[in-house]
Amino acid sequence: MNYFAYKNGVLSAEGVSLETLAREVGTPFYCYSSATLERHYKVFAAALPKDALVAFSVKANGNLGVLKTLAKLGAGADVVSGGELKKARAAGIEAGKIVFSGVGKTRAEMRLALSEGIYQFNVESEPELEALNGVALEMNRLAPVTLRINPDVDAKTHAKITTGTAETKFGIPFVHAREAYKKAASMKGIEIVGVDVHIGSQITDMEPFEAAFNRIAGLVKDLRADGHAITRLDLGGGLGVPYEHDNDPPPDPAAYGQVVARATAALGCRLIFEPGRLIAANAGVLVSEVIYVKHGDAKTFAIIDAGMNDLIRPALYDSHHEIVPVREPGVGAARINYDVVGPVCETSDLFAANRPLPALKSGDLVAILSAGAYGAVMSSAYNARPPAPEVLVAGDEWGIVRARQDHDDLIAQDSIPIWLRD
């Protein structure tokens, strides 16, 4: 459920017409809906125990406007770098609600997180544990730690976003878990607080979650028998969202909440979740203008002014995003199959192949839907194209939450070395 809908024949974000925004900020641009972010956060939180920590996964959308919207609802943050940690803090998220994930935390990032006083480190390997112990001792601190355990469960999602199988780089293998906890318990700078698991992203089947959570619940019992005080269980993120209107929607948060409850209710742990996509994906669209319609020999191309540098998901994962005209098409309007492409000089700069759409012409606006997660955050300036700016809407209000860079900004990022200067 989201708050993008046609109003008076024009696609709008809550009370704001995307046509008006295009006139005001130019195209392409991202537009996020606060009401949608809020709704997704609340529906998810309502499916979980009241004292659970919902730590929004900042990697999905790190815009300060988005983070602040969620912070005001009580969200925490799941961060994977010092930069994300700083952004979460800058958006007003309390350090005590921040968890730090990732396989390659540097010592500098550990120092930063310890000095901020974050809620926990989700440690992914024994070398990382040793490094964190060293940093904590140097700082005379105790680092609160969960170990991320790789349960070797296939999440049945895209290979590039599967993280819970033995072949991936993530977590400590399930079979080494008890040994790793024993080692952690012997370290003076480490305080074991719980167990962490995250098996992948865009998961649309409850069965892998159930298998992973049951495995981890069994481990919690073993760890307690070994004498460890396990009081927290971080179950990661990963719940999928509907990208294709014609497909069955993925299970809703309530179904997920039931799976969680079945596996964990008896443990008495505080639960932590790290949803990203579920909160942000359908709270954002990428609006773009058709530059040309080109009739090729085999295909008709709608060439739009957003490119793979703005939204890389289709090129990287062959992912499907619905594309709709901003002007509402008439009922029963004829459809033409378009390849919707960007201006970037690569064949992979393709948003949709053979997509039936109402007839498009130069100057028309289109919206690429479900672009609020892993959209702007993954953008680049490839082809020296400044990435699309971001706009946040709340009711009838809107604000630019990341401005468009101009070409001079891009040029100013580089410098000419001394021997090449005129």
Positions that interact with ligand LLP (CB under 6 A): 57, 60, 78, 101, 161, 163, 198, 201-202, 236-238, 274-278, 313, 317, 374
Residues 6+ apart with CB under 8 A from 178: 219, 222, 223, 226
Nearer to ligand LLP by Cβ, of 4 and 100: the residue is 100
CA angle centred on 45, ends 169 and 266, rounded to 5°: 75
Question: Shortest distance, CB of residue 159 to ligand LLP, whole angstroms?
Answer: 12
* Least Å from the CB of residue 374 to ligand LLP: 3
Which is nearer to ligand LLP, 16 or 259 (by Cβ)? Answer: 259
Give the nearer residue to ligand LLP in terms of CB position, either 4 or 56: 56
From 331, 334, 345, 420, active-site residue: 345
Q: Which of 366, 375, 405 is nearest to 389 (CA)?
A: 405
CB 49 within 8 A of CB 271: yes
- Least Cβ distance, residue 208 to ligand LLP (angstroms): 13
Amino acid at 86: K
- 3-state secondary structure at position 352: strand
H or E stretch including 366?
strand 365-368
**Beta-strand pair 270-273/16-17:** unpaired
Q: Which residues, in sequence order, are bridge partners of residue 12?
A: 5, 17
Q: Are 275 and 209 in contact (CB under 8 A)?
A: no
CB of 41 to ligand LLP, least distance (A): 12
Q: Which is nearer to ligand LLP, 16 or 55 (CB)?
A: 55
**Beta strand pairing status for 390-394 and 29-33?**
parallel
Q: Among positive and negative, which fits the CA dihedral 306, 309, 311, 313?
A: positive
Question: Closest by alpha carbon to 14, among 213, 335, 283, 416?
Answer: 283
Residues 6+ apart with CB under 8 A from 420: none
How long a stretch of residues is the chain? 422
Gyration radius of the chain over CA positions = 23
Per the annotation, the verdict on 345 as an active-site residue is yes
Smallest distance, ligand LLP to C-beta of residue 55, A: 8
Alpha-carbon gap, residue 359 to 261, rounded angstroms? 49
CB atoms < 10 A from the CB of 128, how many?
22
CB of 131 to ligand LLP, least distance (A): 19
Q: Between 16 and 113, name the residue whose CB sits nearer to ligand LLP.
A: 113
Shortest reach from residue 200's CB to ligand LLP, in Å: 7
Nearer to ligand LLP, 257 or 276 (CB): 276
With CA atoms as reference, report the closest residue to 58 among 229, 224, 276, 244.
276
- Nearer Cβ to ligand LLP (311/344): 311
Here the tokens at position 420 are 């090449």
| Angle of CA points 86, 87, 91, to nearest 5° | 115
Residue 105 or 198 having the CB closest to ligand LLP: 198
131 neighbors 102 (Cβ within 8 angstroms): no
| Cβ neighbour number for residue 72 with a 10 Å cutoff | 13
d(CA 372, CA 6): 19
CB of 273 to ligand LLP, least distance (A): 9
Name the residues annotated as catalytic: 345
